[in-house]
Homo-oligomer: A and B are copies of this chain.
Amino acid sequence: MSEHKLNDSLDTLKKSGVRITPQRHAILEYLISTESHPTADDIYKALESNFPNMSVATVYNNLRVFRNAGLIKELNYGDASSRFDFVTHDHYHIICEKCGTIVDFHYPGLEEVEHLATHVTGFEVGSHRLEVYGTCPACIDNAAKVN
């Protein structure tokens, strides 16, 4: 799956003069293949078996490289650590406040909001971020069972 996403990404990196090391390859591959939105530590642990000597710093460094290249997004929710999300087409996130699950969903875009914001504040708008919070189906079920 998504073999071409990986190749596209590797091309992008090469073009900006970034070397493709085995670690970088593995981190990118993991980010593309996973459905989840892993923390740096998740990634570190997931690759531990293949790269027993890899340093946490390497994970952080390369996440920054990928972010600067526009390949991934860094997500900051209330909890302690950042999560990382491979950038595909535009999508938003809905987050379960009970268990932390993050699910993607699509929405036609909110250019209106950007326009209004520009108009009202005089800012030059670059991007926006939207998240919806609630309770996921699994947690709703669990709550029902308990009562």
Contact = CB atoms under 8 A, between A and B. Distances in A.
Interface stretch (A20-28, A40-48, A72-80): A72-80
A126 to B, nearest CB: 5
Nearest to A97: B126
A17 interface: no
Interface in A106-141: 106-107, 110, 113-114, 116-118, 120-137, 140
Contacts of A118: 134
A123 B131 contact: no
Contacts of A134: 117-118, 123-127
Nearest to A128: B132
A129 to B, nearest CB: 5
Given A78-B74, A129-B131, A130-B129, A116 B124 contact: no
Nearest to A103: B121
B121 A94 contact: yes
Interface of A: 74, 76-78, 92, 94, 96-97, 103, 105-107, 110, 113-114, 116-118, 120-137, 140
9 contacts: A94-B121, A94-B125, A97-B126, A110-B110, A118-B134, A122-B137, A124-B140, A128-B132, A129-B130
**A-B complex: 5 closest residue pairs judged by Cβ atoms:** A125-B134, A123-B134, A122-B137, A128-B132, A124-B135
